[in-house]
Structure 1
């Protein structure tokens, strides 16, 4: 990996960690989800239907296959920024936060 690519990758990782630390994005524990079932997939990963342990509500978890790839992280950050800018539109699925497992990252 070139120095520029590594610096870009660090930028995206740092942005995500800062957003969690500043509480702009909520981090959920992956162990708080149950009944995890795949419902679809796309170019960056798989979408799962899950229940949160503390309720009977259903959520969608989007899993990113290669979260250490610069292009994937760029797309994740782009999607997170977009969700934050249109958080209350009736035609947009609400972003509640993110969770992570090793080695995957997941949007909720």
Structure 2
């Protein structure tokens, strides 16, 4: 087996499980991405979600009850926290950003 074929096989072996397990939706830059519908942090599919996560109907967002901040990236402009009373996630937006329009997405305030 040539070195090129060996490297290609190694890359393919690492790539295929990533596709099957959803590995293509991970990495250091996911904070500015929108999670897929039905997955933690994504929109509910009707009133249900995939992977055993729960749909918060009022917000139309899927929440992982074991790790409530999973998939909640606040638009990359804030940080997710967990309400100790409800065990639900919330976003604390960076200065100059607000989540008044969307609970789990921090957008620039009108002054910027």
Judge same fold: TM > 0.5, yes or no: no
Q: From the two aligned structures, give the one with the greater helix fraction.
A: 1
Q: Rg larger in 1 or in 2?
A: 2
RCO greater where, 1 or 2, for CA within 8 Å and sep 6 or more?
A: 1
The normalised TM-score by structure 1 is 0.26
Name the structure where strand makes up a greater proportion of residues: 1
The TM-score with structure 2 as length reference comes to 0.25
